[in-house]
Amino acid sequence: MKKEQNTLWGKGLLSASLVLMSASCIPTHEKLTHSVNPIAVQPFQEITVEFVHHWDGLRHPFSGAAVIDVDRDGTMEIFVGGGEGQEDALFTYRDGRLVNIIQGSELSSTTATYGATSIDMDHDGDTDLLIAREDGIYLYLNNHGIFSHQKIPLNLEPDAVPLTIAVSDINHDGHGDLYVSVFVSKKAFRSATFNDPSHAKHNVMLLNNGDLTFTDITKSSGTASKQNTFLSAFVDLNGDGWQDLVVAQNTGEVEIFKNERNNTFTPIATNTGYGFWMGLAVGDVDKDGDQDLFFTNVGTSIPQFLLKGDLKDDQRLESQWVLLRNDGNFVFTDVTQAYGLRDYGFAWGTVFEDINLDGQLDILAAQNYIKWPVHKIWKLPGKTFLQVPSSSANIFVHTDELGLTNAHFGQAPIITDLNGDTKPDVIWIN
């Protein structure tokens, strides 16, 4: 029997209290870019999963997830973090369903889970997990599907929490080093705060000592960052074989750091403007051999007067999404307009993926903000863009026909092959 593409939906939470908004606060209509010619696609088939992320309102409304082959059988599982007081989940695909197999794995916790990264940290052939939680970061070592964990010491400022963890070997010693994206705590958070140093929490760079202990080299490496950060990624941006660093931070400019090959990094000006950079995707969009960068933002959803906060006159607000084309030697060009990606709404996590297997990178982006009252009434559908040829260059067009609408409080799309048919499946984390 032919297996079909599948999509997993986590049901978003809907507040029972709806706030009436003035006309000035109703979100600007998204200017969808559609293909001039019909696009033949194979629709995805939805699979309902019995998991609803719980948000208690006292902590950040985020959920981490990671793809991992827990038992080295070639089948991918999905780790999904729970909210405060809620068990995490570990899903595997069986008989057309996604089944939670977290019990017995020693993976779960009832502390709010914000981020997860899968990688073999101890070089034993099993894939391990790094997890960022409200109370710190943890390394879960995999021993044939059973995990043992250790808390990694982290020197955080007051009212700071870790959100996500990026891993790379920054010094070519064969061991995975960590970059922890840090955010101000929910209780201390103030929106649109661009210029209060006490509100900005520095990120942390941890150098692996080779024995799964780590040394904090944040200050000496020059990678503390300037603002609260949702997400960071290591990527070789200049083709020298050394991993550079990209930081998507809230209420600041996108930050890029060049790896100087001696455990230090040099900041590279991006001139993106001051935005609310939430999602980060890395991929070679134009097929020129280097990695381009895509960032989501609040877009057209929130009025400009609510976004400016304490911005200074010489600081340019940027609320649009941004696609930066890598032109080599750390020169980046904003090609957002050229690729048809302006005038869209609020978006969180995003990924590049060849969804329709035509050889072109496409884009998926999760949408809606659980603390924005308008989105409790009018939800954005999430975005699935196919990259198609146009008269002058390729553009990204929104394609409803794929059946990937996600009108929930989306966090991020996760891509993997769940059923072994060599086709990408989509998991929306909500």
Domain limits, the chain? 156-345
Question: Residue 307 has what DSSP assignment?
Answer: H
Q: Report residue 148: phi and psi, to 5°.
A: -115, 145
List the chain pLDDT tens, one digit each, 430 residues.
333 444 443 433 222 222 333 334 454 568 777 777 778 889 999 998 999 999 999 999 999 999 999 999 999 999 999 999 999 999 999 999 999 999 999 999 999 999 999 999 999 999 999 999 999 999 999 999 999 999 999 999 999 999 999 999 999 999 999 999 999 999 999 999 999 999 999 999 999 999 999 999 999 999 999 999 999 999 999 999 999 999 999 999 999 999 999 999 999 999 999 999 999 999 999 999 999 999 999 999 999 999 999 999 999 999 999 999 999 999 999 999 999 999 999 999 999 999 999 999 999 999 999 999 999 999 999 999 999 988 677 999 999 999 999 999 999 999 999 999 999 999 999 9
> Residue 136 belongs to what H/E stretch?
strand 136-143
Tell me what pLDDT residue 16 has: 28
| 399 and 33 Cβ atoms separated by less than 8 Å | no
| 382 and 365 Cβ atoms separated by less than 8 Å | yes
Cα dist from 358 to 43, 167, 423, whole Å: 15, 30, 12
CA–CA dist 382, 366 (Å, integer): 5
Kindly report the CA angle at 142 between 136 and 143, in degrees rounded to 5?
Answer: 140
CA–CA dist 85, 149 (Å, integer): 19
Tell me what pLDDT residue 393 has: 79
Cα dist from 254 to 11, 154, 297, 318, whole Å: 31, 24, 11, 11
Tell me what pLDDT residue 22 has: 39
Among residues 191, 250, 229, the alpha carbon closest in space to that of 372 is found at: 191
User: What is the DSSP code string of 187-225?
Assistant: GG--TT--S-TTT----EEEEE-SSS-EEE-HHHHT---
> Which are the contacts of 408, defined by CB distance < 8 A and separation ≥ 6?
9, 10, 11, 12, 368, 379, 382, 428, 430
Q: Report residue 363: phi and psi, to 5°.
A: -130, 135
Quote the pTM value.
0.93
CA–CA dist 272, 256 (Å, integer): 11
Q: Which two tokens stand for residue 146?
A: 């059973």
Tell me what pLDDT residue 276 has: 98
Sign of the torsion angle spanned by Cα atoms 83, 86, 88, 94: negative
User: What is the DSSP code string of 31-96?
Assistant: -----SS-------EEEE-S------SSS-----EEEE-TTSSS--EEEE---TTS--EEEEEETT
